[in-house]
Amino acid sequence: MWINKLKDLILNTLFPVECLGCRQHEEIICQKCLDKIIVLNKWETNLYSLERIVTIFDYQQPLIKKAIKSFKYSPYNLNILKSLSPIFIKCLKQSPLILKFLTKNRFILVPIPLSKQKLAKRGFNQAEVIAQELAAAFNWPFKKSLKKIKNTPSQTNLSREQRKLNVQSVFKIQGEIAPNIILIDDILTTGATLEQAAKALYYAGAKKIWGIVLVKG
Ligand SMILES: [Zn+2]
């Protein structure tokens, strides 16, 4: 979008690009700092309602923490997120058997959506950007199957029927649902969002749901 390009231009003029890690090189994250990033590549099974979730980075690494903050909070730097993508793609390539399984079983990438207000404020959905980068790298299909209707409410003290209604009131399903889905998000905190999204997809007919997140906060 031209407005984002204009914003980048103004920001780069006011604040010349310097490496987020060492502040020495005129790059968003210099190669030296990228090389120092340790990937976690941690696969967990049966977490929440998801069969498997991989966490790519260790949130305790200062550079990763800084990078996540830079696209989560104003001025929402999309380029920092994009500069991490070769690393998270490389990380997943370390699990070739899993990748083969996901490709063979036609898993579809579904990003966790943002509310309309948040999307307007940030200008991009970080989960969607991650999903697009992964889709391009692994030739996986990508589909925006979820739409966020309202912020995630608490699920405690609700009956099963109420929970179902609650889930349906957070995410709306868009179009046909694929049986095998990989949910994508940037940061997993309480797990409530992934849980709600997975449940909405299961109710709509999904059979297997996995997840890929950049970090666990
Ligand atoms: Zn650096």
**Whether pLDDT at 150 is above 90:** no
What does pTM read for this prediction?
0.87
| Mean pLDDT in residue range 28-41 | 94
- 20 part of a folded domain: no
| Structural domain includes residue 15 | no
User: Cβ distance 37 to 63 under 8 Å?
Assistant: yes
Give the CA diameter of the chain.
Answer: 56
Q: How far is the CA of 159 from the centre of ligand 1 (A)?
A: 51
* Ion ligand 1 — residues with CB < 5 Å: 19, 21-22, 30, 33
17 within some domain: no
If you measure from the C-alpha of residue 165 to the centroid of ligand 1, how many angstroms do you get, rounded to a whole number? Answer: 48
How many structural domains is the chain composed of?
1
Enclosing domain of residue 75: 34-216
1: number of Cβ within 10 Å? 8
Q: Say if residues 54 and 43 touch (Cβ distance below 8 Å).
A: yes
Task: Count CB-CB contacts under 10 A for residue 73.
Answer: 10
CA of 86 to the centre of ligand 1 (A): 16
* pLDDT tens digits, 168-204: 678 999 999 999 999 999 999 989 899 999 999 999 9
Whole-number Å distance, alpha carbon 105 to ligand 1 midpoint, is: 39
**Residue 135 located in a structural domain:** yes
Mean pLDDT confidence for 103-122:
95
Q: Is residue 23 part of a domain?
A: no
Rounded to the nearest angstrom, the distance between the alpha carbon of 131 and the centre of ligand 1 is 26
What are the pLDDT digits (tens) for 110-119? 999 999 989 9
CATH code where residue 140 lies: 3.40.50
